[in-house]
Structure 1
Amino acid sequence: MHLLGVSALVLATATFASAATTKPTSTSSGVLAVESPAWLPDFGVPSGVNAGYPTGALNTSKTLSHKTLDLSAYPEPWEAPSTTHAEIKAVMNAIDWTKVPKAPIVKTNSNGEIDMTKYDESKDAYCWWSSTNCVKPKSSYLPPDVSVCPNSGDWGLNYDDGPFNPIGDDTDKWAEPELYNFLAENGNQKATLFYIGSNVVTFPEAAKRAINDGHVLCVHTWSHPSMTTQTNAQVVAELYWTLRAIKEATGVTTKCWRPPFGDVDDRVRAIAWQMGLQTMLWDQDTNDWDMPGDGGGKLAPSKVDGYFEDWIETRKKGTDKHGHIVLQHELNNATVKMAEKWLPKLQESFNVVSIQQCLNVTQPYWETNWVYPTKNENVTAITNTTTAIPSVGPSTTDINLGYTATSSIPSASSASSAKSTTTDLSVKSSNTDESSASLVAVHGLSLLAATALCASYLL
């Protein structure tokens, strides 16, 4: 079952500057500094993938190639991946395990469900979301989870479990690119997509279509387990193979992930964070996954309709205290039908944007050539360029979540070339535009409103 939580965030985008000579251990906010994943293979930019955020007409053809990635290089789709592979060992060796809390591995009961019977909710020593909906880690060097849009009226559109693969029956009409085409044809709508690695390796063309359409791609594990039930090595493997699949299919290394069922604690967060991934949850749940459909359940669609009706009515009353990140899925025919039914109605009442846009995160990947619109920009306003992009103006705060990129990343000037760059995502207090020759990318907007709202949302 998907659980419900209410939380907040402190997240910023920032100036990409040249590397410091020493590796930082923490940021000005006390958050552990992390690096772009140098342990991922350098696949280069795949053919058929944009060099950056799309600005022209989108491809809405109704068919996609079903050619897979090289499956021999990956674990069996939908099976628990091995933890002894050399690539997993390389990641394990790169992680600072002194910064991974020793939270116990959660047990499951005879039904395979998480066993919460022995967990002390009053102490919640490891900020276990499944038990307490905690989103502010007890480990001070970890950033809070993202689960709301800070501004009332925003709807951070997102879908889990994609890309929806054809399965060889009459429901295939709902498989991708059905939803992506619908989004393109309804206001050029952008969304955040939390991808299952097993689905990416078996349907990489759908991932290409999504990124070419300007959606944001995030990790949702390889085989969709409850992550607190996994060993450290299993957590690494679930995240790694999905990061790898997304990068091979699309050329980007994402910075975001969502735990299946929302099941995360500080141990899992710390591993994900050191693998370059920010934890993203939600504050409202459609439960659409449980509707009758291929692989679905028995929840009446009318019940899901009721949730949407209530959210829209609340918005009309103006009683929302913040914007929303509402859990939806591209899991099957039923969830895609529901998504298409309600999107136009949501667009009438909300400012529907991707999660990243509602947070003003303009660079959701470690690669610097993908620059997405800010919150106040139209989704078609960003122009891909091979020249320097000017600063958006002076910042008034100092927020640093410690991203330091050190891997080879494609430059904005060439879709086929790469340059080794070290970057520091930090927002510096300044009265003048950034003009340093050390800048290698765009100066983004920090999410100033998030810090002000944080105290009222954090549990």
Structure 2
Amino acid sequence: MLISYSVVFFSAIVWQQVNSATITSSGYAPQFSPIFPNLKTPTGVVTSYNPGPYDISATLSTEPLTGFPEPWAAPPTNSAEVLAAYNSIDWSKVPNAPVRKQNPDGSWVVKSDGATDPYCWWSSTNCRTPKASYLPPDIYTCPNKGDWGLNHDDGPFNRYTDSNAAIENPYAEPVLYNFLATHNAHSSLFYIGSNVANYPAAAKRGLNDGHHLCVHTWSHPPLTTQTNSQIVAEFYWTLKAIKAATGVTSKCFRPPQGDVDDRVRAIAWQMGMRNILWDADTNDWAMPAPGGGSLSPKVVDSYFQGWINAYNSGKDTAGHIVLQHELNSATVNMSMFWLPKIQNVFNVVPALACNGITQPYWETNFVYPITNPVNPPATYTVTATTTKAETTTSADSSAPSNANCLPGSFGYGFGDGYGGYCCKTEQDCLDNCLGGACTGPTNPVATGTPVNTIRTSTITTAKPGTTTTKKTTTTKSNTIKPTPSAGSCIAGSSGKKLGDGKIGYCCTTSDDCLDVCRGTACDV
């Protein structure tokens, strides 16, 4: 159902043909960049790549776009706009692959097309090189050793209005984008059209902060289960929503669940987009949170630590695109917790950047770098230059209203919170932060007398030559972290940094373990 719809002269609606109407010199089928009818030029967005500084202080509007299909419902296929896009495709260059079917549990009715896999169906064989010669291979990894291609699916993370709001909204955008800005990190973002239409201001922030914006369909269906017209509609309305919000037309897409074959690839390619997959998966989407599952966060932690250990030990000599999500509080927490750690080991760049892609849109005035700046511009904007003492305690006013958590760690960001302590992100905990409370080990030592810790940080303002020094006085528990005695761990791993320590082996850092180092013993 359309929220609103404006009638225009649809006979004039065409798709701009970018290349000649023949096979291109590369041997690939021609592509078309869409022209969307009746779109106003968006405001509040950059018109070329923005290297910074980024404003992380602004409050985002929650005003939605109008004139778009019902969010999260299958978009209409019979509108004049979609029909114009459909009729611009050369269907002789779209393989006649079957429309797939799934059982109620999500399993495939037919699991394979046979050993020859004639349509390069990723869900069956992980095929990433199309059998159709006029389609380019999928991008799925970083070609250079040590590159970590940062990317996030399912955004922009919208605010909730139901019973999940209290827990989820503290992690809705721009929380992740602010975190990335303060850590000199950029990501390739794969947006769901419904989320963009509901929260266009977040998409603007994504563009303004120097991230790549790509397509992840309107309603997130497995694309091989859709008819040709349904695939066109899923792509068209998402492309249009991103264009309406930000002014850019994406040249990149990712199929939900990675479900793609040459039929889907051919439609996407002719609509101007190349397929971007991954070669390592955090499975973060499956953690307990809205839209998630029941996977323990410790399992996801073990994946990250395993990748770090493999690289540090020399076992991993490749680059990777590692799938992550901005789906809910759990995935955003996980991303923020591990980003500083992977930055200490890998060269973290956007997934498109590690593949040398500098122009991710049809608008050629956007030219992105393929490396992170060595001396990035300030990412904070400060409205006044002052020196201010701030006092925070365990009863921080911004703490989540969770009567079931213990004071003593919230907001410190030191990673010292035991199981049950109040928290805002994983950086407050020894393990993970879920629902405003730390998970993981409980405190085996009594809390001592509170002490004051002075921290001083310098923030460069947007105005050149001006700095603000903030002195923060934090009242925190003088908690003694446990250190196992020599007899409480098995000798044979500590200090080696080979990543070979099994559970119970001595360790000094997680580089000594197959999983993680807790205290001085390897753990899971």
Larger Rg: 2
For 1:221, the equivalent position in structure 2 comes to: 217
CA deviation vs aligned residue, 1:229-256 (integer Å, no higher than 9, x gap): 0000000001110000000000000100
CA distance in 1, matches of 2:52, 2:19: 42
| Letter paired with 1:161 | D
Within the alignment, does 1:298 sit opposite 2:291 as a pair? no
Q: Structure with the greater relative contact order (CA < 8 A, sep ≥ 6): 1 or 2?
A: 1
CA distance 1:55–1:109, change in 2 (3 Å): closer
Note the C-alpha offset of 1:21: 11
Q: Residue 18 of structure 2 contacts residue 32 of structure 2 at CA under 8 Å; is this kept in 1?
A: no
CA distance in 2, matches of 1:85, 1:157: 36
Match of 1:374 among 370, 377, 382: 370
CA distance in 1, matches of 2:217, 2:17: 32
For 1:234, the equivalent position in structure 2 comes to: 230
CA deviation vs aligned residue, 1:68-102 (integer Å, no higher than 9, x gap): 111xx211100011111111100011000000000
CA deviation vs aligned residue, 1:423-443 (integer Å, no higher than 9, x gap): xxxxxxxxxxxxxxxxxxxxx
Within the alignment, does 1:189 sit opposite 2:185 as a pair? yes
CA distance in 1, matches of 2:291, 2:228: 29
* SS of aligned partner of 2:249: coil
CA deviation vs aligned residue, 1:283-320 (integer Å, no higher than 9, x gap): 01100000011221100000000000000111112333
Within the alignment, does 1:54 sit opposite 2:54 as a pair? no
* SS of aligned partner of 2:46: coil
| Letter paired with 2:78 | T
For 1:289, the equivalent position in structure 2 comes to: 285
Note the C-alpha offset of 1:46: 1.2
Alignment of 1:330-349 (within 5 A): 330-349=326-345
Match of 1:111 among 72, 85, 105: 105
CA distance in 2, matches of 1:304, 1:112: 22
* SS of aligned partner of 2:152: strand
Superposition TM-score, scaled by structure 1 size: 0.75
Q: Residue 17 of structure 2 contacts residue 33 of structure 2 at CA under 8 Å; is this kept in 1?
A: no
CA distance in 1, matches of 2:371, 2:343: 16
For 1:130, the equivalent position in structure 2 comes to: 123
| Letter paired with 1:148 | T
Alignment of 1:8-47 (within 5 A): 23-38=20-35, 40-41=36-37, 43=39, 45-47=41-43
Q: Residue 145 of structure 1 contacts residue 278 of structure 1 at CA under 8 Å; is this kept in 2?
A: yes
Match of 2:351 among 349, 355, 359: 355
Within the alignment, does 1:157 sit opposite 2:150 as a pair? yes
Superposition TM-score, scaled by structure 2 size: 0.66
For 2:7, the equivalent position in structure 1 comes to: none
Match of 1:269 among 265, 272, 275: 265
For 1:327, the equivalent position in structure 2 comes to: 323
For 2:91, the equivalent position in structure 1 comes to: 97
For 1:180, the equivalent position in structure 2 comes to: 177
Within the alignment, does 1:318 sit opposite 2:309 as a pair? no
Note the C-alpha offset of 1:191: 0.3
CA deviation vs aligned residue, 1:19-70 (integer Å, no higher than 9, x gap): 99982522333111213223x2363541100121113310102621100111
Note the C-alpha offset of 1:359: 1.2
Note the C-alpha offset of 1:116: 2.9
CA distance 1:362–1:377, change in 2 (3 Å): farther
Q: Residue 359 of structure 1 contacts residue 375 of structure 1 at CA under 8 Å; is this kept in 2?
A: no
For 2:430, the equivalent position in structure 1 comes to: none
CA distance 1:378–1:356, change in 2 (3 Å): farther
CA distance in 2, matches of 1:131, 1:379: 45
Alignment of 1:391-430 (within 5 A): none
Note the C-alpha offset of 1:114: 2.8
Q: Residue 288 of structure 2 contacts residue 296 of structure 2 at CA under 8 Å; is this kept in 1?
A: yes
**RMSD of Structure 2 on Structure 1 (CA):** 1.9
Note the C-alpha offset of 1:380: 5.1
CA distance 1:316–1:229, change in 2 (3 Å): same
Q: Residue 311 of structure 2 contacts residue 317 of structure 2 at CA under 8 Å; is this kept in 1?
A: no
CA distance in 2, matches of 1:314, 1:84: 51
CA distance in 2, matches of 1:222, 1:346: 31
| Letter paired with 2:212 | V
Q: Residue 19 of structure 2 contacts residue 31 of structure 2 at CA under 8 Å; is this kept in 1?
A: no
CA deviation vs aligned residue, 1:168-208 (integer Å, no higher than 9, x gap): 3112010000000000011x210000000000000000000
CA distance in 1, matches of 2:104, 2:185: 43
Within the alignment, does 1:80 sit opposite 2:74 as a pair? yes
CA distance in 1, matches of 2:212, 2:190: 9
CA distance 1:311–1:174, change in 2 (3 Å): same
CA distance in 2, matches of 1:34, 1:346: 37
* SS of aligned partner of 1:149: coil
| Letter paired with 2:349 | V
Within the alignment, does 1:253 sit opposite 2:241 as a pair? no
CA distance in 1, matches of 2:355, 2:41: 27
* SS of aligned partner of 1:146: coil
| Letter paired with 2:175 | E
| Letter paired with 1:193 | L
CA distance 1:126–1:22, change in 2 (3 Å): closer
Note the C-alpha offset of 1:144: 0.3
| Letter paired with 1:231 | T
| Letter paired with 1:36 | S
CA distance 1:137–1:230, change in 2 (3 Å): same
| Letter paired with 2:277 | L
| Letter paired with 1:116 | V
CA distance 1:145–1:65, change in 2 (3 Å): same
Note the C-alpha offset of 1:123: 1.3
| Letter paired with 2:72 | W
CA distance 1:182–1:21, change in 2 (3 Å): closer
CA deviation vs aligned residue, 1:210-231 (integer Å, no higher than 9, x gap): 1000000000000000000000
Q: Residue 157 of structure 2 contacts residue 195 of structure 2 at CA under 8 Å; is this kept in 1?
A: yes
Note the C-alpha offset of 1:379: 8.7
For 2:503, the equivalent position in structure 1 comes to: none
* SS of aligned partner of 1:141: coil
CA distance in 1, matches of 2:19, 2:314: 49
Note the C-alpha offset of 1:109: 1.7
